[in-house]
Structure 1
Amino acid sequence: MHPSILPLRAGLALLRVGQSGLPGRAGAALSRAASLRLQRAERPAEAAIDALRTRLRQSADTVEVVDYGAGTRGDKPPVRKVADIYRRAATGAAWGRFLFGLARELRPARVLELGTNLGVGAAHLAAALALNEADGGPETRLVTLEGAPALAALAAGHLARLGHGVSDDPECRVRVVVGPFAETLPGVAEAEGPFDLVFVDGHHEAGAALRYLDVLRPHLADGALIVLDDVEPGRPVREAFEQLRAEAPSAYAGKYGLLVHTAAPGPDSRREGAPAPAARESVPPPTSAGDA
């Protein structure tokens, strides 16, 4: 077990995320994710990602990074060590397990990630989608957006070595899109939606998060789950999360803020509508789905 799993499991229990107001499948997905446990058949995929983490942590390589407004403090050099990027910005092992659990339980057909970075978070999501398909689920698609071309290329290579098809071809499980979110998101949303799960892990500013979600609303499935990264008190994205959770069912999981999109009634409820008023509905507490 990764050493970060137990502390996060305890923290999630303390926050009582299993008793959040997320309705329906989103509530069940949150309960499963909060357990941070793996079924036996899921362990090889997570072990492969752990091996990727080890390679990144020990890497002596450097990569050129282009920032388009990451919402982080301080100037950063354009060429950085891969190991430093992993340490500072990659999705942590416990939080990756959390994302994996969300996707396994929610069983989304279309997933969108804003902020590919080195592809670690995407690896957890893609692994869950692959297992869902192997369990007899429908074909799935993960589209992940990254501003820095060199980072996107690294991430695509990591995902391909983990066994995921990476291409613009709709038959491939993963598509990596390069460019500023403001330029790439509208076209991606139109071409690839509606999305069942969205992970916003880039451009960590409140205004940016709100703008991107405004673009996405017409392209969200009814009941879609939105996960905002870095919503701890005092972080810029917290302001956006507080504004959004006044309009939609939500849960606060320490680092992540979760929101459920409910489409307004219409001829195509998967494409139209805005968040419904907030609801509070209990879901069962986290339960073990197998050994950790």
Structure 2
Amino acid sequence: MSYLSQTIDYLLYRARSFKLHGVHSPFVFNLYNQVILHDGAFYAYPRVEAIREKLLTDNRTIEVTDFGAGSKTINYKTRKVADIARTSAKPAKYGQLLFRLVNHFQPRHVFELGTSLGITSAYLAEAARKAQVYTFEGCPTIACVAKENFDYLHLRNITQITGNLDQTLQPQLEQIPQLDFAFFDGNHRYEPTMRYFKQCLSKAHENSIFVMDDIYWSSEMKRAWQEIKKHPQVGQTIDLYFVGLVFFRTTQPKEHFTLAF
């Protein structure tokens, strides 16, 4: 999608979004005020960001296998770790949002579809040390770099699953009783995104939270986001532009919020 299209999408999002005074749902009001907009510090932030700084100066060259839509800026099969960290890792603002969400809800079973270098995985695992974080990565060499970071941070509650999500997701879903939290960042195309979403729905429950990454990244992702909002099992959604939050609460009406972030 062109830079102009992305700019228009962002301006439209800003025009639609609102802050606390426009939120009438007590659940969303409290979540927005206490978690999404929280600007205080947590112990994990400097720990994980130190890893990012290290990766940004890592000039090792690795072979990359990409099963998704690829990068908008780098499409070489051989890449420097520093370039991957610069272009593919989620910014601190969104990694720390994931940390706060997991810290707030304390899920027990967490899926991350798309490990990359492990920065968001680390935020997820740091937020709930009693949870088990299952992180899926298609590229073995990238997964090895992520493993180095997990070991450096002494994160023992992360299970890595390496390989194509088409083959790895369903078997792992069958191994858990329920899916409490999922971050979808493994494929930025419509069909795989919807397929993985529906597979994960089989283990979702009343209090599950799904986070969809890059919901305006392309026309395919915008289409997927609109279909997810309409899905009969989806109760409430929050559009934060770069990510979309999905809830399944049956105790309140189906509502969609676009909030400034």
The aligned runs of 1:176-195 (5 Å cut-off) are 176-195=160-179
CA RMSD of aligned residues (A): 2.9
Q: Supply the distance in 2 between the matched residues of 1:95 and 1:58 (Cα, whole angstroms).
A: 21
Q: Which of residues 142, 146, 159 in structure 1 aligns to 2:133?
A: 142
Residue equivalent to 1:205: 189
Say whether 1:280 aligns with 2:243. Answer: no
In the superposition, relative to structure 1, how do residues 23 and 187 fare at CA in structure 2: closer, same or farther (>3 Å)? farther
CA contact (8 A) 2:64 2:142 kept: yes
Which deviations, in whole Å up to 9, do the C-alpha atoms of 1:139-190 show, x marking residues without a partner?
Answer: 311000000011111112201211211xxxxxxx110100000100001111
Contiguous gaps of at least 5 residues in structure 1: 1-10, 131-138, 166-172, 264-275, 287-292
CA contact (8 A) 2:215 2:222 kept: yes
Residue equivalent to 2:143: 152
Work out the percentage of aligned pairs sharing the same amino acid: 25
3-state DSSP class of the match of 1:108?
Answer: coil
Residue equivalent to 2:205: 221
Q: TM-score, normalised by structure 2?
A: 0.83
CA contact (8 A) 1:189 1:219 kept: yes
In the superposition, relative to structure 1, how do residues 151 and 15 fare at CA in structure 2: closer, same or farther (>3 Å)? same
The aligned runs of 1:48-197 (5 Å cut-off) are 48-70=47-69, 72-73=71-72, 76-130=75-129, 139-165=130-156, 173-197=157-181
Residue equivalent to 1:250: 237
CA contact (8 A) 1:111 1:142 kept: yes
Which deviations, in whole Å up to 9, do the C-alpha atoms of 1:44-71 show, x marking residues without a partner?
Answer: 3211111111111111112221011335
Which has the bigger relative contact order, CA under 8 A and spacing at least 6? 1
What's the offset of the Cα at 1:33? 3.4
Contiguous gaps of at least 5 residues in structure 2: 1-12
3-state DSSP class of the match of 1:228?
Answer: strand
What's the offset of the Cα at 1:206? 1.4
Q: Which amino acid aligns with 2:254?
A: A
Aligned residue pairs total 243
Q: Supply the distance in 1 between the matched residues of 2:83 and 2:142 (Cα, whole angstroms).
A: 13
Q: Supply the distance in 1 between the matched residues of 2:196 and 2:77 (Cα, whole angstroms).
A: 25
